[in-house]
């Protein structure tokens, strides 16, 4: 197809898979800098903002797109198809945001089966009246022709579990500052890091930036959920018995949650040497339980209500155990 694009300008695509849309909004959050982006790059595909169809993308030459920012996880056949398509058409594919990076919040759906989700959504939810138990079908023949819907997969995948990913920009959503930094770096033509690198985040975990007072006194007699305790606003959350993912999560977000007196949920993902950030955090938290007998330990552990939701909130599809087993 004939796009009115300047060959000297970067060709940029932004796509969302299974996502909330926050990542796309984060791009807009660069505010007036958006003009700088547009000045430096042509947006060739961005469903949320531009009316460019899938078939237009299909029509592009391979590697036509310089950079694709892919946000959202892979939840259905459409997500997967687009991931493959964009991989084919893009020079650099970036997993943008937690969902594309590690599976993100949608990844917690891996604690349920597709069947149980459908049942809840289309049958048992309080706001649903569906006595015929009608469910969306991937293919329906109507007089006008055949209607199709993407097939929903049984579990949620991160982008790199479907296609090869060049870079990761973590965050839920990534901060606009980080995006700008990355974009500026690309535009300025500086040396790109090795493939597979997490960019737009620090190598060190969040505690490095966090301004709360930290000490070695980490022993905890019981854990609290944020609403169960009045945070003193200045002591390390963990020392107060609140589970904060900060020490297992890359810095780069600007510790905005913590500034809002909420413990870190880990959306920036683990540091480069960590295989399973949830397990690491679980290990660290268990280590500081202030009890020695199995009974006392069990009692303290009772106060960690939901280990999966606590330690794998934004990374479940990428964990060693990426979904719940249903036997």
Partner 1 sequence: MEKTRIGVYVCWCGTNIAMMVDVEAVAKEMESRQNVVLARTYKYMCSDPGQDMVIRDIKEHKLNRVVIAACSPRIHENTFRKALENAGLNPYMLQMANIREQNSWVHSDRIEATRKAKSLVAGAVSRVNHHQPLNKREVPVNPASLIIGGGISGITAALELADAGKRVYLVEKESELGGIAAMLDLTSPHFYSISDSLKTLIRRIEVHQNIKVYMDSQVKQINGYVGNFNGEIKIGNKKVKNIDFGNIVVATGLKPIKPETIENYGYGVFSEVITSLDFEQVLKKGSVLNAYGIKPKNVAIIHCVGSRNEDYKPYCSRTCCMTALKYANMIRSALPEANVYQMYADMRAYGKHCEELYADTSGKNVLFLMYDQREGMPIIEKDAIGPGVLIKFNERLSGEDIEVPAELVILMTAMESGKDAKSISQMTGTSLDANGFFIEKHPKLDPVSTTTDGVYVVGSCQSPKNIPESVSQARAATANILATIAKGYVEVEVITAEVNEDICCGCQFCIQVCPYGANNYDQRKAVSSVNEALCKGCGTCGSACPSGAISTRHFTDKQILSQIEGIMAEVGSG
Partner 2 sequence: MEYNPTIVSFLCNWCSYTGADLAGTSRMKYASNIRVIRVMCSGRIDPTFVLKAFTEGADGVLLCGCHPGDCHYHEGNYKCLRRFHLLQKYLDQMGVDKKRIRLEWISASEGKEFAELANEFSETIKKLGKSNIKEEMKVEDKKSPESAVHRPARMGLQSTVES
Distance CA 214, CA 206 (A): 12
Q: Taking CB under 8 A as the rule, does residue 304 contact partner 2?
A: yes
Q: Which of 11, 306, 313, 315 binds partner 2 (CB under 8 A)?
A: 306
- What is the torsional sign of CA 224, 227, 232, 235? positive
Pick 232 or 296: Cβ nearer partner 2: 296
Distance CA 327, CA 58 (A): 41
Q: Using an 8 Å Cβ cutoff, are 93 and 290 in contact?
A: no
* Cα angle value 219/171/50 (rounded, 5°): 165
Q: Which of 164, 203, 208, 228 binds partner 2 (CB under 8 A)?
A: 164
Single out the segment in contact with partner 2 by CB under 8 A; choices: 10-18, 52-60, 130-138, 281-289.
281-289
CB of 15 to partner 1, least distance (A): 32
DSSP per-residue letters across 251-319: S-S-SHHHHTT-----TT---TT-S-HHHHHHHHHHHTB---SHHHHHHHHHT---HHHHHSTTTGGGS
Distance CA 183, CA 257 (A): 24
Kind of pairing, strands 139-142 and 145-148? antiparallel
- Which one of partner 2, partner 1, none interacts with residue 102, CB within 5 to 8 A by kind? none
Q: How many residues touch partner 1 (CB under 8 A)?
A: 31
Q: Which of 246, 252, 269, 317 binds partner 1 (CB under 8 A)?
A: 246
Of 73, 49, 258, which is closest to residue 152 (Cα–Cα)? 73
Distance CA 173, CA 86 (A): 21
Pick 68 or 271: Cβ nearer partner 1: 271
- What is the torsional sign of CA 222, 279, 271, 284? positive
Positions in 184-203 near partner 2 (CB under 8 A): 194-196
Q: Taking CB under 8 A as the rule, does residue 208 contact partner 1?
A: yes
Q: What are phi and psi of 229, to 5 degrees?
A: -145, 150
Rg (CA), the chain: 22
Distance CA 165, CA 81 (A): 15
Site string for partner 1, 263-302 (x = CB under 8 A): -------xxxxxx-x--xx-xx--xx--------------
Q: Taking CB under 8 A as the rule, does residue 221 contact partner 1?
A: no
Q: Taking CB under 8 A as the rule, does residue 163 contact partner 2?
A: yes
Q: Taking CB under 8 A as the rule, does residue 186 contact partner 1?
A: no
- Which one of partner 1, partner 2, none interacts with residue 321, CB within 5 to 8 A by kind? partner 2
Q: Taking CB under 8 A as the rule, does residue 313 contact partner 1?
A: no
Q: Using an 8 Å Cβ cutoff, are 300 and 289 in contact?
A: yes
CB of 117 to partner 2, least distance (A): 16
Of 14, 35, 11, which is closest to residue 25 (Cα–Cα)? 14
Q: Taking CB under 8 A as the rule, does residue 219 contact partner 2?
A: no
- What is the torsional sign of CA 202, 206, 212, 216? negative
- Which one of partner 2, partner 1, none interacts with residue 72, CB within 5 to 8 A by kind? none
Q: Which of 247, 252, 269, 317 binds partner 1 (CB under 8 A)?
A: 247
Pick 3 or 217: Cβ nearer partner 1: 217
Q: Taking CB under 8 A as the rule, does residue 161 contact partner 2?
A: yes
Binding footprint of partner 1 on the chain (CB under 8 A): 203-208, 214-219, 236, 238, 246-248, 251, 270-275, 277, 280-281, 283-284, 287-288
Which spans of this chain sit near partner 2 (rule: CB under 8 A)?
80, 84, 87, 111, 157, 160-165, 168, 194-196, 270, 272-276, 279-280, 282-283, 285-287, 289, 291-292, 294, 297-298, 301, 304, 306-308, 311, 319-327
């Amino acid at each position: 197809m004939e796009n009115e694009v300047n060959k000297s300008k970067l060709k940029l695509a932004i796509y969302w898979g299974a996502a909330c849309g926050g990542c796309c909004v984060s791009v807009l959050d660069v505010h007036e800098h958006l003009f700088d982006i547009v000045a430096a790059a042509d947006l060739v595909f961005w469903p949320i903002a531009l009316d460019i169809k899938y078939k237009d993308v299909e029509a592009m030459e391979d590697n036509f797109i310089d950079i694709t920012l892919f946000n959202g996880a892979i939840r259905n056949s459409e997500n997967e198809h687009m991931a493959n398509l964009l991989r084919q058409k893009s020079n650099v594919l970036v997993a943008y945001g937690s969902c594309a990076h590690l599976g993100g919040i949608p990844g917690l759906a891996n604690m349920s089966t597709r069947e149980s989700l459908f049942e809840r959504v289309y049958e048992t939810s309080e706001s649903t009246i569906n006595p015929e138990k009608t469910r969306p079908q991937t293919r329906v023949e109507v007089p006008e022709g055949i209607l199709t819907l993407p097939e929903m997969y049984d579990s949620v995948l991160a982008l790199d579990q479907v296609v090869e990913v060049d870079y990761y920009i973590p965050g839920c959503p990534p901060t606009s500052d980080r995006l700008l930094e990355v974009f500026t770096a690309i535009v300025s033509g500086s040396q790109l890091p090795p493939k597979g690198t997490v960019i737009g985040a620090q190598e060190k975990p969040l505690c490095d930036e966090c301004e709360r007072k930290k000490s070695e006194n980490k022993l905890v007699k019981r854990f609290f959920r944020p609403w169960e305790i009045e945070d003193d606003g200045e002591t390390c959350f963990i020392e107060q018995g609140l589970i904060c993912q900060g020490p297992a999560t890359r810095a780069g977000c600007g510790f905005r949650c913590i500034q809002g007196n909420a413990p870190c949920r880990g959306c920036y993902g683990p540091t480069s040497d960590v295989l399973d950030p949830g397990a690491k955090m679980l290990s660290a938290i268990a280590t500081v339980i202030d009890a020695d007998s199995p009974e006392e330990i069990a009692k303290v552990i009772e106060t960690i209500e939901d280990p999966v939701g606590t330690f794998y909130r934004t990374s479940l599809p990428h964990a060693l155990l990426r979904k719940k087993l249903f036997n």
